[in-house]
Structure 1
């Protein structure tokens, strides 16, 4: 279904065309002054300038043609030539009915679906998720939900950090503690144990322990380097142990992702690209794309029009080792061969912007993927009330699990303060607490402009009023309660009729969903979905307060109409919240 603004823009464009003007000047958008009009067109000013006429006079000539458009109630001219358009109640009702009947609740679809690869998460083997991983994870998840919803074929990949020196550090630390394990016996021919000799808790302890020791003891660091080289050369025992590290980590990370309601299609890592690097390096050398510079193989990516310094892409350093540049380029090549994406999005901290610009230019130069099909979706940092990155009381990095638990504790506290759920079972109470906590976290993050830093204030974001996730849950639950009470009274939704101002405002907000999703899609900004959801909940609140539904004295037709409008609101609000990864409860 098309929204009113889109249909109006086409029709108003034809009106402009009748005067020999560019139909694009007929673009229509929501009115800046909802008290004066529903929509506005500002094209008369630009048109008048082009044909050297008075803009108000030209607008006055175009206005009758717009008034003749089906569904338009009246057109007025304001200021220097703004065309203000008010729709009939029937036109708004028709759209609200369409929202209720539409499987996507008016959300629309892309014109040409694409194969899209999304790279987010980016965690490391042997390390737990921490607060710094939150933004990539939930922004990436919201974008994959949005792109799928609008029709794209999306493949999400966590791109684990599962290769490099940290693996050698872990291997040597396990060997130091458990030297009797068969993984370290070069004469052992297998099979190796299927059960991991280390748990996730062991890995979380071993890695910082090994890292600290290697900084103090050069012999330990050299042993780790040797183990890393032997792992990368395919030593069987080390490969078997490394696979345990990866499997144990993935189980733990999948559990934590499950707690966040996030799913990935692929759990590939740097190691998947590593096997392509030798072949890739030789190819790039052979085609003179990579050149030798001071002992290192580089790809120059600087351009004449660059306004900033652009260092070369480092393919192989002077010691003969390949690093993150080569791994990321190899990953692009791997994805090209395996998935052939038409668009790849990297949802990674914006401080990595230079790195990705180098990688994308190198990929384009190598002929692997055009640069305009690779996008870095950068984001700012989430900080504590003091404006600084979250830390534990001891000054360490806050684990994501602990952060979520803090949110659950605050949600429990708020529910108890409000006297909500005193008669619930323990199971239902725990479920509601989980939903409220995650709604608070996700909405607080996603409602902010993606590229900006923001302060996470758990007391502020856990409120049941204002622009918060819990407020939106409360709005959904209120409509669900209304629908249940209506069913108990034998009242069913009927034909929608738009009469009251609050009904108009709600119907117009329902109609705005498609354009909100399109903007969020085009700009890769989930906060637009949050803005729409909050505006819809606010419009419903005004409707609820001023347009009685189940109270005595309401005419049956009006009751059925308003109930249908509430039902359409519920449907669209739940769809919007699902797109930002928020599950809704049945009651609260």
Structure 2
């Protein structure tokens, strides 16, 4: 079904045309003065210059054509030429009923679904997830879910970092500690053990130790570089160790991503793109796209219109070694071959914008990817502490993500136990869902590109623009519906219409519900989960105002009571759909 604002625009545009004005002036927007009207049209102001007529006269002419239109409760022209619009309660109720009975609340899915690859997460193997991984994970997950809801074929890829010096460092350090392992015996030709020779805890200790040690001991670093080279050239024992590192790391990563309600369709790795590099380099050379600069192979990506310096995209170092650029370009080639995508979106720290600008330009200029493929850099800002600096532990270290989740859920648990008499087990289950909502909503309610302050006290509050407040609203509606069932004995409401609103708070709630389609459309078009957050906060506020001003179950008019139950059921369903798009779940009670 069409968005309500488009239906209003359709009527306004017809009136402009009937008055012999161009249809482009029939623009309608939400009112910036909701105390005066619900929608407004400023087209008469713009038309005045072209038609050399006072804007108020144009507005009066248009309004005269619409005075008897049943869509409008009130439509008036006000100085200097605004058209203020209020829609009728009957029309609004009719639209809400169509939403309630329609699939996806009347939201029209994409007519021509596209294939979209979303690259998010990006952790390195053998390293724990820390707070710096939070934003990529939760933003990418939400963008994926919104894109799917719109109707597109979406592929989420974690894109693991698994192919570089870190592997050589781990292998070299492991050899130093356990030289007797068969992986280091080049003459060994049997089956390697299925069990890894280390746990995730040991692995996470080995890498930082080896990395720090290599900075003080050049001979160790040289040995690690050689181990990396041998791994990348297929030394069997090292490949077996590498597979152990991957398996142990991915198992742990999945466990932690599961806690965040984040999942991936693909667990592709940097190493998966390596096989595409030789042919890609050959293509760039033979096609005349690449040139030698100080021994390195580069592709010029600067445009004449650039106002800032854009360095060439380096493909190979002077010693023939590959770089991140090389791997990322090869990954684009791989994705084009495997999925033939219409778009690839990268959810990455905004400080990498220049780097991705180079990679994207190189891919387009050299025709590694089709001109029709949209490459998008969705850069996110920093998660900071109250001091305005990147979020740290109390001792100044980088906090592990699982510790952050634990701290938040513990804070929520304490609040629940201090206010309610429920079992510890139920409180913990509730705290897990509310804690994740606090973290994810706290992040997603901010525009992705902006830095934000991670405030545990504010994010875990059950009041204000927070995840717990949204969940509490949903739980409140569930409680009303359960009580209605107890009082009436009715499990499912018979098909009945939502009646026209009888009070301002009911009208306001209905109007918020009608914005669902606009919200989803904008959130997808802009890769902006914060739009969904703003919507459900406004919708929750509208519901709570309606709830506080009206006795829903105690209403003596059965038709009104049933209508209100239908209305809040729709509200609950839309809120649940929206939090699912954010990767959040609501408990049954709080």
- How does the TM-score come out when normalised to structure 1? 0.97
Per-residue CA deviations over 1:60-89 (Å, capped at 9, x if unaligned) read 001132344442222111232111111111
Match of 2:433 among 435, 440, 446: 435
Q: How far, CA to CA, are the matches of 1:256 and 1:439 in structure 2?
A: 15
Deviates more, 1:295-304 or 1:191-200: 191-200
Match of 2:521 among 518, 523, 544: 518
Give unmatched runs, 5+ long, in structure 1: none
Question: Once the 2 structures are TM-superposed, how far is the Cα of residue 99 of structure 1 from its aligned partner?
Answer: 2.4
Partners of 2:384 and 2:452 within 8 A in 1:
yes
Q: Give the corresponding residue for 1:451.
A: 449
Q: Give the corresponding residue for 2:86.
A: 86
Per-residue CA deviations over 1:463-509 (Å, capped at 9, x if unaligned) read 11111110111100000000001011116474211121111100000
Give the secondary structure class of the aligned counterpart of 1:275: helix
Question: Once the 2 structures are TM-superposed, how far is the Cα of residue 548 of structure 1 from its aligned partner?
Answer: 1.6
Q: Give the corresponding residue for 1:487.
A: 485
Question: Once the 2 structures are TM-superposed, how far is the Cα of residue 93 of structure 1 from its aligned partner?
Answer: 0.9
Q: Give the corresponding residue for 2:475.
A: 477
Give the secondary structure class of the aligned counterpart of 2:386: coil
Question: Once the 2 structures are TM-superposed, how far is the Cα of residue 37 of structure 1 from its aligned partner?
Answer: 1.7
Q: How far, CA to CA, are the matches of 1:277 and 1:26 in structure 2?
A: 54
Deviates more, 1:371-380 or 1:328-337: 371-380
Q: Give the corresponding residue for 1:13.
A: 13
Q: Give the corresponding residue for 1:557.
A: 559
Q: How does 1:288-303 map to 2 (within 5 A)?
A: 288-303=288-303
Per-residue CA deviations over 1:26-60 (Å, capped at 9, x if unaligned) read 12222222232221111111112221111110010
Q: How far, CA to CA, are the matches of 2:301 and 2:217 in structure 1?
A: 39
Q: How far, CA to CA, are the matches of 1:396 and 1:271 in structure 2?
A: 30
Q: How far, CA to CA, are the matches of 2:174 and 2:69 in structure 1?
A: 76
Q: How far, CA to CA, are the matches of 2:81 and 2:550 in structure 1?
A: 35
Partners of 2:391 and 2:454 within 8 A in 1:
no
- How does the TM-score come out when normalised to structure 2? 0.97
Give the secondary structure class of the aligned counterpart of 1:76: strand
Q: How does 1:204-243 map to 2 (within 5 A)?
A: 204-243=204-243
Q: Give the corresponding residue for 2:140.
A: 140
Q: Give the corresponding residue for 2:387.
A: 386
Deviates more, 1:489-498 or 1:432-441: 489-498
The RMSD of aligned alpha carbons is 1.4
Q: How far, CA to CA, are the matches of 2:370 and 2:351 in structure 1?
A: 23
Per-residue CA deviations over 1:361-392 (Å, capped at 9, x if unaligned) read 00001212246610000111110111111112
Deviates more, 1:159-168 or 1:42-51: 42-51
1:569 aligned to 2:571? Answer: yes
Give the secondary structure class of the aligned counterpart of 2:221: helix
1:402 aligned to 2:400? Answer: no
Relative distance call for 1:26 and 1:111 in structure 2 (3 A) is farther
Q: Give the corresponding residue for 1:586.
A: 588
Give the secondary structure class of the aligned counterpart of 1:314: strand
Q: How far, CA to CA, are the matches of 1:586 and 1:96 in structure 2?
A: 26
Q: How does 1:500-519 map to 2 (within 5 A)?
A: 500-519=503-522
Give the secondary structure class of the aligned counterpart of 1:403: helix
Q: How far, CA to CA, are the matches of 2:422 and 2:414 in structure 1?
A: 16
Per-residue CA deviations over 1:221-265 (Å, capped at 9, x if unaligned) read 011000001111111111111011111111100010100001100
Give the secondary structure class of the aligned counterpart of 1:480: helix
Q: Give the corresponding residue for 1:464.
A: 462
Q: How far, CA to CA, are the matches of 1:68 and 1:242 in structure 2?
A: 75
Partners of 1:192 and 1:240 within 8 A in 2:
yes
Q: How many residues are paired up?
A: 584
Give unmatched runs, 5+ long, in structure 2: none
Q: How far, CA to CA, are the matches of 1:580 and 1:293 in structure 2?
A: 46
1:534 aligned to 2:537? Answer: yes
Partners of 1:548 and 1:554 within 8 A in 2:
no
